[in-house]
Amino acid sequence: MTFSELLKGILERVEGSIGIAIMGLDGLAIEQAQVPSKMELGEHVALIATSHATLLRNTMRMSSDTGVGLLNELTLVSDDFRLVVRLIGREYFIILTLGPGGNIGRARFELRKAHLLLEKEFV
Protein backbone atom coordinates (compact mmCIF):
# COMPACT_ATOMS: atom_id res chain seq x y z
CA MET A 1 0.00 0.00 0.00
CA THR A 2 1.38 3.44 -0.94
CA PHE A 3 1.15 6.43 1.44
CA SER A 4 -1.40 7.95 -0.91
CA GLU A 5 -3.65 4.85 -0.79
CA LEU A 6 -3.35 4.73 2.99
CA LEU A 7 -4.42 8.38 3.34
CA LYS A 8 -7.32 8.09 0.88
CA GLY A 9 -8.59 4.98 2.71
CA ILE A 10 -8.70 6.94 5.99
CA LEU A 11 -10.60 9.83 4.34
CA GLU A 12 -13.18 7.33 3.06
CA ARG A 13 -13.63 5.61 6.42
CA VAL A 14 -13.88 8.64 8.72
CA GLU A 15 -17.18 10.56 8.50
CA GLY A 16 -16.81 14.31 8.03
CA SER A 17 -13.21 14.16 6.72
CA ILE A 18 -11.89 17.06 4.63
CA GLY A 19 -8.17 16.39 4.17
CA ILE A 20 -5.20 14.47 5.56
CA ALA A 21 -1.42 14.82 5.38
CA ILE A 22 1.79 13.16 6.49
CA MET A 23 4.03 16.05 7.54
CA GLY A 24 7.53 16.61 8.82
CA LEU A 25 7.85 18.61 12.04
CA ASP A 26 9.75 21.10 9.86
CA GLY A 27 6.37 21.92 8.24
CA LEU A 28 6.95 20.17 4.89
CA ALA A 29 4.28 17.80 3.59
CA ILE A 30 5.43 14.30 2.61
CA GLU A 31 2.08 13.14 1.23
CA GLN A 32 -1.43 14.57 1.30
CA ALA A 33 -4.94 13.79 0.15
CA GLN A 34 -8.25 15.68 -0.01
CA VAL A 35 -11.87 14.65 -0.18
CA PRO A 36 -12.71 15.61 -3.81
CA SER A 37 -16.04 17.26 -2.94
CA LYS A 38 -14.27 19.54 -0.43
CA MET A 39 -11.44 20.77 -2.68
CA GLU A 40 -12.39 24.41 -2.06
CA LEU A 41 -11.08 23.98 1.50
CA GLY A 42 -7.76 22.60 0.22
CA GLU A 43 -5.55 25.67 0.70
CA HIS A 44 -7.05 26.14 4.11
CA VAL A 45 -6.24 22.57 5.13
CA ALA A 46 -2.66 22.88 3.88
CA LEU A 47 -2.17 26.04 5.95
CA ILE A 48 -3.63 24.34 9.03
CA ALA A 49 -1.29 21.35 8.60
CA THR A 50 1.79 23.55 8.24
CA SER A 51 0.85 25.69 11.25
CA HIS A 52 0.50 22.55 13.33
CA ALA A 53 4.15 21.67 12.83
CA THR A 54 5.07 24.72 14.92
CA LEU A 55 2.36 24.02 17.48
CA LEU A 56 3.51 20.41 17.82
CA ARG A 57 7.14 21.38 18.28
CA ASN A 58 6.10 23.75 21.09
CA THR A 59 3.80 21.18 22.64
CA MET A 60 6.45 18.46 22.55
CA ARG A 61 8.88 20.82 24.27
CA MET A 62 6.30 21.66 26.92
CA SER A 63 5.47 17.96 27.40
CA SER A 64 9.08 17.13 28.04
CA ASP A 65 9.62 20.23 30.28
CA THR A 66 6.65 19.38 32.52
CA GLY A 67 7.32 15.64 32.63
CA VAL A 68 4.11 14.75 30.78
CA GLY A 69 6.13 12.20 28.80
CA LEU A 70 6.46 11.74 25.05
CA LEU A 71 3.55 13.22 23.14
CA ASN A 72 1.61 10.73 20.99
CA GLU A 73 -1.62 12.40 19.96
CA LEU A 74 -3.32 15.80 19.90
CA THR A 75 -6.95 16.69 19.14
CA LEU A 76 -8.29 20.20 18.59
CA VAL A 77 -11.96 21.15 18.29
CA SER A 78 -12.85 24.64 17.07
CA ASP A 79 -16.06 26.23 15.82
CA ASP A 80 -15.23 25.35 12.21
CA PHE A 81 -12.87 22.33 12.26
CA ARG A 82 -11.80 19.24 14.16
CA LEU A 83 -8.15 18.20 13.91
CA VAL A 84 -6.65 14.90 14.97
CA VAL A 85 -2.86 14.66 14.99
CA ARG A 86 -0.73 11.58 15.64
CA LEU A 87 3.05 11.74 16.07
CA ILE A 88 5.09 9.21 14.05
CA GLY A 89 8.54 8.82 15.52
CA ARG A 90 10.09 12.10 16.67
CA GLU A 91 10.20 13.87 13.28
CA TYR A 92 6.87 13.29 11.55
CA PHE A 93 3.14 13.48 12.13
CA ILE A 94 -0.11 12.63 10.42
CA ILE A 95 -2.90 15.24 10.58
CA LEU A 96 -6.55 14.63 9.70
CA THR A 97 -8.85 17.65 9.28
CA LEU A 98 -12.59 17.12 9.78
CA GLY A 99 -15.61 19.40 9.51
CA PRO A 100 -17.66 20.41 12.59
CA GLY A 101 -19.61 17.11 12.60
CA GLY A 102 -16.57 14.86 12.07
CA ASN A 103 -16.23 11.64 14.07
CA ILE A 104 -13.23 12.19 16.37
CA GLY A 105 -13.39 8.73 17.96
CA ARG A 106 -13.18 7.01 14.57
CA ALA A 107 -10.47 9.43 13.45
CA ARG A 108 -8.32 8.57 16.49
CA PHE A 109 -8.83 4.86 15.81
CA GLU A 110 -7.84 5.15 12.13
CA LEU A 111 -4.74 7.23 12.93
CA ARG A 112 -3.63 4.70 15.54
CA LYS A 113 -3.89 1.97 12.89
CA ALA A 114 -2.02 4.10 10.34
CA HIS A 115 0.66 4.77 12.95
CA LEU A 116 1.35 1.04 13.28
CA LEU A 117 1.83 0.77 9.51
CA LEU A 118 3.91 3.94 9.19
CA GLU A 119 6.23 3.66 12.16
CA LYS A 120 8.36 1.04 10.40
CA GLU A 121 8.94 3.46 7.51
CA PHE A 122 9.63 6.56 9.60
CA VAL A 123 12.27 5.49 12.11
Its sign, for the CA torsion 114, 84, 88, 21, is positive
- Residue closer to its own copies, measured from CB, 36 or 105: 105
Its sign, for the CA torsion 104, 119, 68, 85, is negative
Q: Which of residues 50-109 bind its own copies (CB under 8 A)?
A: 51, 54-55, 58-59, 62-63, 65-81, 83, 105
| 40 in contact with its own copies (CB under 8 A) | no
| 29 in contact with its own copies (CB under 8 A) | no
To the nearest 10°, report the CA torsion of 35, 38, 43, 46.
-30
Interface ranges with its own copies (CB under 8 A): 44, 47-48, 51, 54-55, 58-59, 62-63, 65-81, 83, 105
